Amino acid sequence: MSHERLQMIPVVKSLPAEGSSADKFRARKPSQAEAEAAIRTLILWAGDDPSREGLVDTPRRVAEAFREYFKGYGEDPSEILDRVFEEVEGYQDMILVRDIPFHSHCEHHMAPFFGKAHIGYYPAKGVVGLSKLARIVDLYARRLQTQETMTAQIATAIEETLEPRGIAVLIEAEHMCMTMRGVQKQGSTTLTTQYRGLFRDDPAEQVRFFTMVKSPGL
Ligand SMILES: [Zn+2]
């Protein structure tokens, strides 16, 4: 009997690990005036007059809006997921939170993309409050993102804190950079998934997750 075995190694796209570039990046934060000046430049670049009445306060408003759009940079997932409930009367089955709405911005065009996230996991050492999962989605959505990275980051954050037996994340989203420019594919949706633990090992679990996500609402 040969000791050499050909192992099937799944091809996994390498994604930046949680906490890699974005969290370590510490540039000098520009002042509000500098941010507003940059937006005035973009208005000129678009072909309009930043000093006309309708646009004169726009740089200030856009700079303020950016604080909201990108507030996920200042947040720590382990603080959101710090409280784990261990008393669940032996509950072992899948916990699924579906239809978590989110709004994000693609890192290639800074155009919005938005949709719904669905998270399923099999608890091991405990469960978290359901609203915490929605906050984790929001934390990663409020950064410059790709849908693939965001899907992996959500799975990793939950995996590292909850250490579940398995975690599945499905994100469906519409990208305005696809709808408004380039190929202009109106209404097309992009789906991304991450399966970890028993979801990765057992395709039947992936089917069960997907069926529960797509089953009619109550
Ligand atoms: Zn884009």
Distance 207 CA to ligand 1 centre (A): 30
Closest-CA residue to 147 (of 12, 15, 11): 15
Q: Tell me the C-alpha distance between 104 and 176, whole Å.
A: 10
What per-residue confidence (pLDDT) applies to 19? 52
Cα 183 to middle of ligand 1, angstroms: 12
* Alpha carbon distance 34, 49 (integer Å): 18
105 catalytically annotated: no
pLDDT of residue 14: 45
Residues of 108-117 as b/e, b for ≥16 C-beta within 10 angstroms?
Answer: ebeebbebbb
Expressed in angstroms and rounded, the spacing between residue 35 Cα and the centre of ligand 1 is 22
Known active-site residue 177: yes
Select which of 145, 175, 194, 205 is catalytic.
175
| pLDDT reported for residue 3 | 43
118 is catalytic: no
Map 35-89 to HEC letters.
HHHHHHHHHHHHCCCCCCHHHCCHHHHHHHHHHHHCHHHHCCHHHHCCCCECCCC
Is 108 annotated in the active site? yes
Mean pLDDT by 10 residues, the chain (218 residues): 43 48 70 96 98 97 96 90 73 91 97 97 87 95 97 96 95 91 76 96 96 87
- Domains in the chain with CATH codes: 3-69 (1.10.286), 78-214 (3.30.1130.10)
Phi, psi (deg, nearest 5) at residue 83: -100, 105
> Tokens at residue 52, please?
């006309």
**Distance of CA 181 from the midpoint of ligand 1 (Å):** 9
Sorted by sequence, the CB contacts under 8 Å of residue 201 that are 6+ apart come out as 166
38 - beta bridge partners? none
What ranges in 112-175 are assigned the alpha helix state H?
Answer: 130-141, 147-162
- Give me ligand 1 centre to Cα 178, in Å: 7
Q: Partners of 106 in the beta sheet?
A: 145
